[in-house]
């Protein structure tokens, strides 16, 4: 069962499970190749798993962008096991690594939110260029495939191009968009969108937000205002605040991510551009350091290049099951 899906989407997605696994595997190809190459070397060169082999493993985890602290934490668990039970061979080492990584990814997995009062409101936040608008479009298509009615809200009013870009996604997915002029008040357009969603009995309202305003402080204040606007409308909304992160920036994106999680009430992560990066291990660092579940991964620029995150599929893809 795919645990990180929202609510009733689980059943609908079940038959596609194999497809998801294959696509996940394809997306992390570069990360896996780098990682498994060093894993194979460690295994081939060592008859017994010793300190040197474990040090090398730590380095290769850091190279896959799991982050220094996360790699250290995983290795200290493995060292302890190696000391107590003696890890016999590379296969066993790999199996233990798999268990450790999956445990980190699952530690902050939260059950899907129950939406008591429609519409379900999902805010997409994050730095410019990470893929918020693209993900808004992909999610619109995703929910449409689930048979839900969807509305898009263009709350990135900072750049005219952002509104146009979302309009194109609206056309592609056959989803209507609520917008305002460039420079308009994002909370006002959100208010309009909430009203429209309610009047039309929409199931899911997807809100694309700006990644940059005049200052960082302005942006955080605006996101907070949007959150409060939503709450006034529907007390337990927004149901999800998804922080969109770009996997290719790896560890460098972490600092900014922390700023967003502190100010914007983030509930989950969408990790984009997993396709083609060798830094896919950053998903593990994100889960551990931000203490948030990864909900979706972006694996390309097309409409259906969005996969629900599944920790087992991801871990197996990463380590080459």
Ligand X SMILES: Nc1nc2c(ncn2[C@@H]2O[C@H](COP(=O)(O)OP(=O)(O)O)[C@@H](O)[C@H]2O)c(=O)[nH]1
Residue ranges that bind Mg ion, judged by CB under 5 A: 132-133, 162
CA distance 90 to 37: 13
Query: Which positions ≥6 away from 163 have C-beta within 8 Å?
Result: 154, 156, 157, 179, 182
CB of residue 131 vs Mg ion: minimum separation in angstroms? 8
Per CB under 6 A, 261 contacts ligand X = no
- With contacts defined by CB under 6 A, name the span among 122-130, 139-147, 282-290, 312-320 that binds ligand X: 122-130
Per CB under 6 A, 128 contacts ligand X = yes
Per CB under 6 A, 273 contacts ligand X = yes
Per CB under 6 A, 170 contacts ligand X = no
Q: State the binding partner of 130 from ligand X, Mg ion, none, CB within 5 to 8 A by kind.
A: ligand X
Q: State the binding partner of 275 from ligand X, Mg ion, none, CB within 5 to 8 A by kind.
A: ligand X
Per CB under 6 A, 132 contacts ligand X = yes
Yes or no: say if 308 and 145 are a contact pair by the CB < 8 Å rule: no
Q: To which H or E segment does residue 151 belong?
A: strand 150-155
Per CB under 6 A, 211 contacts ligand X = yes
Neighbours of 184 (CB within 10 A): 16
CA distance 89 to 40: 11
Helix axes 90-107, 282-290, angle to 10 degrees: 40
Q: State the binding partner of 5 from ligand X, Mg ion, none, CB within 5 to 8 A by kind.
A: none
- With contacts defined by CB under 6 A, name the span among 77-85, 198-206, 278-286, 293-301 that binds ligand X: 293-301
CA distance 214 to 57: 43
Yes or no: say if 126 and 260 are a contact pair by the CB < 8 Å rule: yes
Per CB under 6 A, 299 contacts ligand X = yes
Nearer to ligand X, 101 or 244 (CB): 244
What residue ranges bind ligand X (CB under 6 A)? 126, 128-134, 211, 244, 272-273, 275, 298-301, 305
């Amino acid at each position: 069962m795919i645990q990180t899906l929202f609510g009733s989407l689980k059943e609908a997605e079940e038959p596609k499970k194999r497809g998801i696994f294959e696509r996940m595997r394809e997306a992390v190809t570069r990360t896996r190749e780098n990682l498994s190459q060093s894993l194979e070397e460690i295994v081939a060169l060592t008859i017994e798993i010793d300190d040197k082999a474990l040090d090398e493993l730590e380095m290769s985890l850091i190279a896959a962008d799991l982050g220094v602290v996360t790699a250290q934490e995983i290795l200290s668990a493995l060292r302890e096991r190696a000391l107590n039970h003696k890890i016999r061979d590379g296969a066993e080492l790999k199996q233990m690594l798999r268990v450790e990584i999956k445990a980190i990814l699952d530690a902050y997995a939260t059950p899907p939110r129950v939406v008591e009062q429609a519409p379900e409101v999902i805010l997409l936040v994050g730095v410019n260029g990470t893929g918020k608008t693209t993900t808004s479009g992909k999610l619109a298509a995703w929910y449409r495939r689930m048979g839900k009615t969807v509305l898009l809200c263009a709350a990135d009013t900072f750049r005219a191009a952002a509104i146009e870009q979302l309009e194109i996604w609206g056309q592609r997915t056959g989803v209507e968009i609520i917008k305002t002029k460039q420079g308009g008040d994002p909370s006002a357009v959100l208010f309009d969108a909430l009203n429209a969603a309610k009047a039309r009995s929409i199931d899911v309202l997807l809100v694309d937000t700006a990644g940059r305003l005049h200052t960082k402080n302005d942006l955080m204040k605006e996101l907070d205002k949007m959150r409060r606007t939503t709450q006034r409308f529907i007390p337990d909304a927004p149901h999800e605040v998804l922080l969109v992160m770009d996997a290719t920036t790896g560890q460098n994106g972490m600092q900014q991510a922390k700023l967003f999680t502190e100010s914007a009430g983030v509930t989950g992560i969408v990790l984009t551009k997993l396709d083609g990066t060798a830094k896919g291990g950053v998903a593990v660092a994100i889960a551990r350091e931000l203490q948030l579940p990864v909900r979706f991964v972006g694996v390309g620029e097309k409409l259906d290049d969005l996969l629900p995150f599944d920790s087992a599929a991801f871990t197996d893809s990463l380590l080459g099951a």
